[in-house]
Each structure stands twice: as structure tokens, then as C-alpha cells.
Amino acid sequence: MSEFDYDLFVIGAGSGGVRAGRMAAAKGVRVAIAEDLYLGGTCVNVGCVPKKLYVYASHYAEGFHEAKGFGLDAGPVQFDWARLRDNKKSEIGRLNGIYGNLLRNAGCEVIDGRAVVTGPNSVQVAGTTYTAERILVATGGWPFVPEFPGSEHAISSNEVFDLETFPKKVIVVGGGYIAVEFAGIFAGLGAQTDLVYRGDMILRGFDQEIREFTAQEIVKKGINLCLETNITRIDKQSDGTLVAEFTDGRKVEADQILYATGRKPKTQGLGLESVGVDLADNGAIRVNENFQTNVPSIYAIGDVIDRVQLTPVALAEGMALVRHLYEAGSADVDYDLIATAVFCQPNIGTVGLTEEQARDRFESIEVYRSEFRALKHTLSGSEERTLMKMIVDKATDRVVGIHMVGDDAGEIIQGMAVALKAGATKAVFDSTIGIHPTAAEEFVTMRQPARN
């Protein structure tokens, strides 16, 4: 008889926690998983899934307009925000149920409520104490909104999915994934949209040419891009509208102001400090190569450790931890060549090194580039352009980075990521016969470098 109630107690039923709990339970491990908000975590409820559904919605009005060039005339298009929002809620509810069934069918005990660590081997939920041989913290991240006069009137990505009414005028603050994506969603659904970023260019950390090209393209979609400025205060008017005052003295009226200025690890109130778990300045849990904290019985994975804040990374970390703890295997996760996408309009897909990173790392590189108007838009009338870019280490001929801005960039780059993981050279790409007519075939037909 074990001295503990459980072998593994997971705090947080997001992507990483659910995967770790299910995989461990399937191996006969006694698992409990506690969640105080919603099964599936940020990604399923207020992140990847509902965001992508709203991105799909935001494309339709443009699609109806473009259809005229193909001989299809649509009548006046009316957008019903409440229907979209409520249909999204129904889908998320369905997914919540699936996650619950997956956990229970795997043998996990699901405990509703906020879990607080009370000792190296104990957790308390709603006044009940549970003991476990190991505790896994997988609580993810939480939106960060800076404090300034009137900041309480702004919303974050947690609230934006379920607005009572759709705003006619919206200000989105931030320059990363979430800000750029939601600016595209609002503009695509018909809102007058300002995207405000304090830096000189959006999407910091991405390839510079990709950043600049994307900025040009989203402006074509009707987004008013405001760089090198910030909001200093927000005042709420008697009619409920908001007035934002900027660093340059401008005042802009809006129905909603969304702050998408980053996320912080969600570790407040978990009791971690009381048991001596080492935290970084931003609240991230410090772990070793085996996802183990300085308290040997406590582990952490996913956004809460602030390595790579992506859902597939949390899944990989959860599986690696279970492999290490219950199969005596390695906890290694390969963080190299992680593909990612930004679902703005048009999409961005990227894997590997930026041109700037490659120049720093290699003695000599070749940059292949193709920019064009997609076949679809020769009839649609859209001025949207596509950019594809490949970076090659000249000494080895190995492709070290691929970037794309255009329709279905995420879908295309996922396949390219497999090739880069396999170590494909430019010669391999050159010898591959393309699929015609597609945009993706450009990646195997670029023969002359744009620059060295």
C-alpha cells in the first residue's frame, strides 16, 4: 500500500497537463488532475482553437467580395456577432466534454477547484488535502496588461472572445502573435481597427524581411498600423465609449481596447514559494533538464516554465516527462527547428533561422526569395502578395530556414519543417518535382539566390 493518495498529482488541465496525466494513467500510474477554470486550458478555451475559428470567420466577407471576379455575385453581407460567438461557445463546450472523457477514460481522477501546494508531497483543493509522490505544475500563462490610468477599461485575450456586442471601432495594443491576429480578425469582420505598437516594427523575433512584408500586407486589409507610440491613459465616456490618449498627444475613440502585450507564467497563489520552489523574476518555475524543480518531488512543464510558449511544445514536454518518470527514458525535448505560424491575413509560417540569425551563425549564406501575386488573385482583384524565403548555409548546402507570408502558410511550412528536421539540402529541394499550380511549388523551383 502506497503512503500517498496518488502517484502523480497534476495541477492544470491544459494541453501539457492533460497529455502528461493521460499518458501516465495509461501506464497504470494513479493520477489526479485539478483544474479551476476550464478543461483544455488556454489553447482550447481562450487561445488557439477559438482564435482560429474567428480567423476563419474574418475571411468570409473578403471572400464574398473576391468571388465577383469568378462570376459569383452575393447579396449584401450581414455579420451576426452573437451567432458566431455562441456557435464558438458550443464548440468549446463540446471540446471541454471530450477532454473530460479522455482523462476519465484513461483512469485519471478529475478534481474541480484551485489546487494549492501545501508541502513537497501535498496539495489542497477546496479544503481537502491530497498527497502524491510527485506533483506536476502545468498551469500555463496569463495575459499581462500594464497598469496605467484607465487600464482597467482595457480587455485582454481572455475576455475578447465573448464580447456582448461587436465593436465598430477597436484599438489593439501589442506587436506579437495575438495582437496581429486579432487586429486581422476585427478588421476582417468589419471593425475600424488600429494596431498600436511601441516598437518600430511588429513581430519582434521574426525575420526582418518577413516583418516588413507582413506590415505592408495587413495595412492593405484596412488595419491602421501605429508604430513607435503607446497609450498613456484611457478615459471612459458617459456613453460607454473609450478615449485613448497616446504618447504623442493624440486622442482616439474606440468601443473596445484590447491589450495583447504578452503573457506571464501563472504561478501566483499556488503556494510554490511556501515550499521553496525556485521562481524566476517573471514568475516562471525554474526546472532542470528533467523538468524537475529544486524541490525533488515537484515538476513543471509548458508555458509556466517559459521556454517556448506553444501548445505542441507543452504536449512534447508532457510526453517527455512521463517517458522519463515511468519508462526510465530520456526527458529530452528537441527545441530546434520548431515550426510556427501567425494566423494574420495573410498567414505567416516559419521554421528555422531568420536571415539575421543565419548571418551571425554561418560564414556564408545564400538567400532565395520569391514574391508574387497568387493565381487566385489574378481574378479576385485582391492586391495581396505572397512572399517565400529560403536560407541556405553555403558551406554545407543545408537549408537552415524557411519563411512564408501567404495563404495557408502554416499548412505549407509544417511539411517544410519535416524536411528541415531531416537535414534537407538545397540540392534535395532542387531535385524535388513540384505540384502545379500551387504556391508551395515555389520552394522547389527557386534556383538563383536573391543575395549572398
Cis check: omega of the bond before 346, within 30 degrees of 0: yes
- 101 and 34 both lie in a single domain: yes
Please compute, for residue 2, the number of CA atoms within 13 A of its CA located in the half-sphere on the CB side: 12
Q: Which residues contact 97 (CB under 8 A, 6 or more apart)?
A: none
Does 275 map to a domain? yes
| Residue-by-residue pLDDT tens, the chain, 452 positions | 579 999 999 999 999 999 999 999 999 999 999 999 999 999 999 999 999 999 999 999 899 999 999 999 988 889 999 999 999 999 999 999 999 999 999 999 999 999 999 999 999 999 999 999 999 999 999 999 999 999 999 999 999 999 999 999 999 999 999 999 999 999 999 999 999 999 999 999 999 999 999 999 999 999 999 999 999 999 999 999 999 999 999 999 999 999 999 999 999 999 999 999 999 999 999 999 999 999 999 999 999 999 999 999 999 999 999 999 999 889 999 999 999 999 999 999 999 999 999 999 999 999 999 999 999 999 999 999 999 999 999 999 999 999 999 999 999 999 999 999 999 999 999 999 999 999 999 999 999 999 98
- 101 and 14 both lie in a single domain: yes
Collapse the DSSP code of 366 into the 3-class scheme (helix H, G, I; strand E, B; otherwise coil) and give the result: strand
Domain total of the chain: 3
Q: What is the pLDDT of residue 77?
A: 87
- Closest residue by Cα to residue 257 from 141, 344, 159: 159
User: Buried b vs exposed e over 147-164: b needs ≥16 C-beta within 10 Å?
Assistant: eeebeebbbbbeebbebe
C-alpha distance from residue 447 to each of 237, 258, 363, 427 (Å): 59, 44, 21, 10
Does 1 map to a domain? no
Does 452 map to a domain? no
Q: Would you say the C-alpha torsion 20, 22, 24, 25 has a positive or negative sign?
A: positive
Do residues 398 and 392 touch, judged by C-beta distance below 8 A? yes
To which H or E segment does residue 93 belong?
Answer: helix 81-106
Q: What is the pLDDT of residue 329?
A: 86
The three cell numbers locating residue 148 = 496605467
Does 71 map to a domain? yes
- Examine the fold and report which residue of 261, 283, 314 is the final residue of a domain before the chain moves on: 261
Does 170 map to a domain? yes
**Which positions are catalytic?**
436
- 379 and 426 both lie in a single domain: yes
Cis check: omega of the bond before 437, within 30 degrees of 0: yes
Domain coverage including residue 74: 6-143+264-326
- 320 and 246 both lie in a single domain: no
To which H or E segment does residue 356 belong?
Answer: helix 355-361
First to last CA, the chain: 67
Q: What is the pLDDT of residue 1?
A: 52
The three cell numbers locating residue 343 = 494566423
- 359 and 416 both lie in a single domain: yes
Q: What is the pLDDT of residue 76?
A: 86
* Domain containing residue 111: CATH number: 3.50.50.60
- Examine the fold and report which residue of 211, 241, 261 is the final residue of a domain before the chain moves on: 261
Do residues 299 and 257 touch, judged by C-beta distance below 8 A? no
- Secondary structure in 3-state letters for 384-442: CCEEEEEEEECCCCEEEEEEEECCCHHHHHHHHHHHHHCCCEHHHHHHCCCCCCCCHHH
- 253 and 269 both lie in a single domain: no
* Domain containing residue 361: CATH number: 3.30.390.30
- 92 and 118 both lie in a single domain: yes
- Closest residue by Cα to residue 139 from 262, 264, 260: 264
Q: Measured between alpha carbons, how far is 293 from 285 in angstroms, rounded to an integer?
A: 7
- 13 and 45 both lie in a single domain: yes
- 295 and 163 both lie in a single domain: no
- 344 and 439 both lie in a single domain: yes
Residue ranges with strand state E in 20-140 = 31-35, 109-112, 115-119, 122-125, 128-137
Does 269 map to a domain? yes
Q: Measured between alpha carbons, how far is 178 from 31 in angstroms, rounded to an integer?
A: 33
- 11 and 137 both lie in a single domain: yes
**pTM, two decimal places:** 0.96
